[in-house]
Chains A and B, each alone.
Chain A
Amino acid sequence: MIEITSTPIVLIIVLGIAGVILPIISITRKNVSSKLYGAISLAVLISSILFVIYQLTSSAILSSFSEDVLTVDLLGDLFAISMLLVAIMTTVGSFDFIRKKSYSSIYFSLILLSTIGMVLVAYSTDLVMLFVAWELMSIPTYILAGFLKKNPSSNEAALKYFLFGALSSAIIIYGISITYGITGSTNISEVIRVFSTIDAEMLPLALLAVSMFIAGFGFKMGLVPFHMWLPDTYEGSPPTITALLAAGTKKAGFAAAIRIIIIGTIALNFDWTLALGIIAIMTMTIGNIAAIMQKNLTRMLAYSSIGHAGYILIGLATYPLSNIGLQGSLFHIINHAVMKCAAFIAVTGIIITIKTTYIDKIKGLGVRMPITALGLTISLLALAGVPPLNGFWSKLMLFGAALDAGSTYSWIYWLAIAGVLNSALSLAYYGWVIRKMYFEGDRTISIKEPKSIISVMIFSILFIVGVGVYPDLIIQFTEKIIFQLTMALN
């Protein structure tokens, strides 16, 4: 039985109360500055992340699967820490963006509610809980994507995001209903137990259920046949919300995928490596090739985010063959969350000051906004996987895993080759942005950079370089996670 003081329960209570109180304050007291709401939600998020770290070091870690709807395991803790980190970066980055706009209390409250959903997706061990958490994560983001009511592109982004998001949850609930029909239970450990001894005549139905999970979660992850909504939504939404979507909800999709898809596929004893491998290659290639042709920085980053989903999928595709792959996936999930969030917060800074994100218009940004440009440059280099930065290590682990698994199926070498070629390709368009910022443009009028953006940039530069110089801590942590998952499966 899960205790009331365990991590997920306390997070629900703390974040939920804060999320409900913020709109109440805005109703009962007029003329409250938006800074107050931001400060409250920031304080709550920072205390939650400290609480998660404290619980991680002090209290007992439960098994990865339990009879309950929630568990407290290392995988959940890792995702909880990275989601809360993303929520903190988004909240701080929103301070200056949301200042002149109305309904700022609702904005911060919806970010908090969505964060609860993301954290619970990572901790849930029951399909009912997973579905409820998934919707708790998604529904606030539909509203947030359309938060700029007077802006046509924000409306369009929100509507497209909503239609595809609702479709993804409809597919997930249909998959859950089939799984429940086959196994007679919604608990994931029970599902795995029944799946591993499934009759041959039930196998096609189980495969259909797992395919529906891949499709449903794939919509949020932005895998290639399901990625049509992603560039439009990322471009049209408020840029801070794009940071939350790219770094938060997308990674929650991977959390659910690791719990259900990977484990379900192992239990089914059916070879999914080829299917996931093809999706991975298509996702990274299409994402990176489309990114080259973009003239808009936000849209370019959106396509590059599709490409990175492909890299992360390498680890999921090679999991039963090579443990390093899933480790690399987890590492790349954290890294990509911070890098992409930093890049989109830098874009927020550019939108606040220059009001445009066309790459041609950001000439000379390195002189005009030095800290934002430095943060953007570091995060772009880390996304491309340049050696001393954190993105290099996680990509190295992913491609190394593909080489390792290639001894079983020789075509898996192509995953590593495609990954390396795509990384080289991505350096081309990231380098183009960096060249525009530092080596072009002669206007040297400096622009006052918003303080909130500067603080996020400094934090992310420290994180990216720090993890790049000393990656052992996170790598050892991911190793423990894989060990725990493998123990729970046997």
Chain B
Amino acid sequence: MNNTLIDFVIVSITLLSIGIYGLAVKRNAIRMLFAIEIIINAANLNLISFARFLPHSSGQTLALFSIAIAAAEVAVGLALIIVAYRMYKNVDIAEFRSLKG
């Protein structure tokens, strides 16, 4: 394997762009949640690839923490989305209009 650091960073930046595009364009709560997941995974890829090329490996520790925390976050988020779906029969956040100024 002769991949260099820049290859991984390019993939990571691509993932970040896809995530930001998803957040900017989509209004479906589940799609937005997965766009956020893609950003977190882009960061994890960054951390792991930097840890591969740097003398310390503390980046891998952080990536493990980040994966576990993202799992907890998704669990809470999906629970919230399910409760909202039961109430609105819809997960489109543009349709949620009970609060406005």
- Residues in chain A within 8 A of chain B (CB atoms): 127-128, 131-132, 135, 139, 142-143, 146, 149, 152-153, 155-160, 162-163, 166-167, 169-171, 173-174, 176-178, 180-181, 184-186, 231-232, 235-236, 290, 293-294, 296, 299
Is A155's CB under 8 angstroms from B101's CB? Answer: no
| Contacts A128-B65, A156-B98 given; does A139 touch B93 at CB 8 Å | no
- Does A177 contact B47, Cβ atoms closer than 8 Å? yes
Interface of B is mostly: helix
CB-based contact A156/B84 at 8 Å: yes
In the assembled complex, B25 has its CB within 8 A of some CB on chain A: no
Instruction: List A contacts of B29 (CB < 8 A).
Output: 159, 163
Contact for B99 among A131, A185, A235, CB less than 8 A: A235
Partner of B66, one of A131, A146, A178: A131
List the A side residues contacting B87 at CB < 8 Å: 152, 155
Q: Which residues of B contact A142 (CB under 8 A)?
A: 76-77, 80
Interface string of B23-60 (1 = CB under 8 A from A): 10000010011001001101110110011001110110
What residues on A are CB-neighbors of B46 within 8 Å?
Answer: 174, 177-178, 180-181
- Minimum CB–CB distance from B60 to chain A (whole Å) comes to 11
Across the interface, do B16 and A174 meet the contact criterion of CB distance under 8 Å?
yes
When the two chains form their complex, are residues A131 and B69 in contact, meaning their CB atoms are under 8 A apart?
A: yes
CA distance A59 to B80 in the complex (A): 44
Contact indicator A166/B62 (Cβ below 8 Å): no
Q: In the complex, what distance in Å separates the CA atom of A163 from the CA atom of B33?
A: 7
Residues of A within 8 A of B93 (CB): 159-160, 163
Contact at B43–A139, with CB atoms within 8 Å?
no
Complex Cα spacing A155 to B77, Å = 11
- Checking A174, A184, A290 against B101 with a beta-carbon cut-off of 8 angstroms, the contacting residue is A290
Q: Roughly how many angstroms separate A236 CA and B29 CA in the complex, as a whole number?
A: 18
Find out whether the CB atom of B80 lies under 8 angstroms from the CB atom of A177.
no
Question: Does chain A have a CB within 8 A of B14?
Answer: no
Asked if A174 and B39 make an inter-chain contact with CB atoms under 8 angstroms apart, the answer reads yes
Question: Could you tell me which residues of chain B, from 49 to 99, have a CB within 8 Å of some CB in chain A?
Answer: 50-51, 54-56, 58-59, 61-62, 65-66, 69, 72-73, 76-77, 79-81, 83-84, 87-88, 93, 96, 98-99
5 new A-B contacts at CB < 8 Å, known A163-B93, A170-B39, A185-B56: A143-B79, A153-B98, A155-B88, A170-B43, A294-B101
CB-CB nearest 6 A-B residue pairs: A177-B46, A170-B39, A181-B50, A174-B43, A173-B43, A156-B96
Query: In the assembled complex, which residues on chain A have CB atoms less than 8 Å from the CB atom of B96?
Result: 152, 155-156, 159-160
Closest-CB distance, B55 to chain A (whole angstroms)? 7
